[in-house]
Structure 1
Amino acid sequence: MSKLRTIDDINVANKKVLVRVDFNVPIEDGNISSDARIKQAIPTIVELLKKGAKVILASHLGRPKGEKVPDLSLSIIEQTLRTNLPGVDISFVADVVGSAAKSAANKLAQGQVLLLENLRYEAGEETNDLGLATKLAGLADIYVDDAFSCAHRSHASIQAVAELLPSVAGRLMEKEIGILSRVLETPKLPLAAIIGGSKISSKLGVLKNLATKVQYLIIGGAMANTFLHAKGHNVGTSLCEVEMTEVVNEILVSASNHDCKVVIPIDVVVAKALEANIETENVMVEQVPQEKMILDVGHGSIKKLGEICKICRTVIWNGPLGAFEVSPFDVGTIAVAEIVVEFTRAGKLMSVVGGGDTVAALERVGAEHAFTYTTMAGGAFLEWLEGRILPGVKVLED
């Protein structure tokens, strides 16, 4: 990979620094339900302030699609930001690139922070509009991107503006790229990837790329049903992409050619419907009843995955192993998470987890911070696993 430009490469003293952060936080009943994304941005903000910068924060929230949707205003972030930056002079402007934003940016003094309104209130944000990027660039002297979670998007605040100002990666961006590069390019071996989720079609690129890089490719979730079907097993009424059978076989051949062992369940938990506390049955994959659906991995599969984790030195995880949102079909995901956490804490395993569903599953048992690294990036994490070039990263490289 080319050299990533970082904060170490610039002098920010008395400069207006536009920092692209990801404050796309979950909101429930008008309140922020998790401030994890805000907390992750704090180290970069604090460092810039200590170095004498005038910090301008830019983020999106939700999908207003170029409309001013009141419920998606970044004003909701202001108080939480103050809580996480005690003693810092923080102001919010209900504008992105208009005269109010320009005036507020020009009045900033060293050590002060300005929070702009939702970037996606501007229609040009998601189209990578040069006009919008030029106006954003006009607010500042330097651009810092600290939103790896958005790096897969060719948006005005991610790509175009970085080409108009001296641009570098923030500490969170630098950290995420460093860790993810390490686990894919120079990992401690053996390396296992646990990939779950409902559809192979949504993670096809990930599976194809990882089949050439890892020693164990562990398939979970409803995706495993399609692999079981391709191997001739009956999957009952389970979600299954029959049309992807040929693709599955191609992945299996590729994996074999690259000394990668594809691991699918040997037993599963089945039920007549996806309902909480419904009667369930643990059966071998050869014995799935015609009238039931597969909703989680079985006890034998959990034991097998534990044995694989025990001999591995690196694990990448994206996607739950079962329908974790509904109890008791979260058992497999939780059990394997506890195994990975055990080996991580013992210093025997480097573990990296990412993706909204995966992190949500781990949060249910308080395990999200017990992995070596948990990335909040969803789409960017997946595209990185696919081996794609991320526009938000490429523009920051020499």
Structure 2
Amino acid sequence: MRPRPTNRGIGLAIGGACAVVVGVGLGTVDLVQVGALVLLLVIGAYVITAVRDPGRGRHRLRVLRSVEPSPVHAGSVAHVQVDVAADDLSGRVRLAGLRLGEQASAELSGGRPLRARVTRTDRVVTLAYPVQATRRGRWALGPLVVTRTDPFGVVRASSTLGDAAEIAVWPAITELPVPRGVLVDEPDRVALGARSPSTDDSSLREYQVGDDLRRVHWRSSARRGELVVRSDERAGMRPVTVLLDVPVRPEALEWSISLAASIALAMLDAGHPVRLLGPATSTADAAAASTHARPGPGSRADLLDRTIDIEPPTASAADDQTLAAVRQMLGTSSGGEIVMAVVGPLSGPTRTALAHLASTAQAWAMVRTDPAWSVAEHQEAQHTLDQLRRLGWRACPVRPEEDPVQCWLRMLGARS
């Protein structure tokens, strides 16, 4: 923004001009000189303020912004720290005369001005403030807005300093209980025909990011020249696929994504390899979703990252996306896995594709309904629920905004 005169500057400019005019009219040299000096003061302040932009030139200021935690879950608070630093004497002079203000998306600030705690030294000004992440997505933070004035306070200018940052917001997650007799132990033994592994059943595999270092087999690692870990703790744990049918209505979108992500993380924490299938936001996402993530912190982050950019589809594309995900699952499944689906009313071709899964997998489903739907939509949802049950799925109806734990327990108690 170009420099603008303050009220004081406007007053001085008018007074100086009047003094020059009156001095010329009266032939008073002293009055003309006083008026000219005042005008030169205003003009000089304008030039100096325009030239000394803190974000440009050899003496520009540096901006370092950090966010903790990042990414952050929707509904949680992240703490932001912004350091504005000067590297030399000229930069410190510029820094001393600045007023700093931060900008943030409404999804982070709630539409209210940010209030920061400011700490100043001669070299660094630090702003620290919290933001409340209200929605899943990627939201802008910054750049800084700096306001500077000349030493006499006659000219003011505002500009931006530093680059904008982006905060990634994961969906809200609910901790879901995993009954060991329902999903982890007995079904796995029945499907695989395997007994529970003992400590003597260890097999070795390459170390992967997220593996517990206590499982490293150091003697074999030294012999091979690379880290290997004992994989007995995951023996007999069936892979899990979570299928997400993204709703068209925005009011059900966040609830569905949060529920599917909560299921995926619950099964991952229980020791199962997990993948989350839904609309792919990129080619890389589609490729990553074709493999099951192994339990570990890195896998949790990868699963959640795939949910950040999901947008509600158009009505015509919604079922096509779900059908494509089911076909991908059929093409990559080796059989004997657990499938958990969060779906709405499905078309005939999609229900037909799902029929093949129940014959090779242990299949569970939550079918969305909504009191605001039309009679035809309710009938389609009920038809989907009935047909999934006939196909061998364990399915139950759920409503958006219900408690995810109650929906989860209802599904586990459902019968095919």
TM-score after normalising by structure 2 = 0.26
Larger Rg computed on CA atoms: 2
Question: What is the TM-score of this pair, normalised by structure 1?
Answer: 0.26
Normalized per residue, the structure richer in strand is 2
Specify which structure has the bigger relative contact order, considering alpha-carbon pairs within 8 angstroms and separated by 6 or more residues. Answer: 1
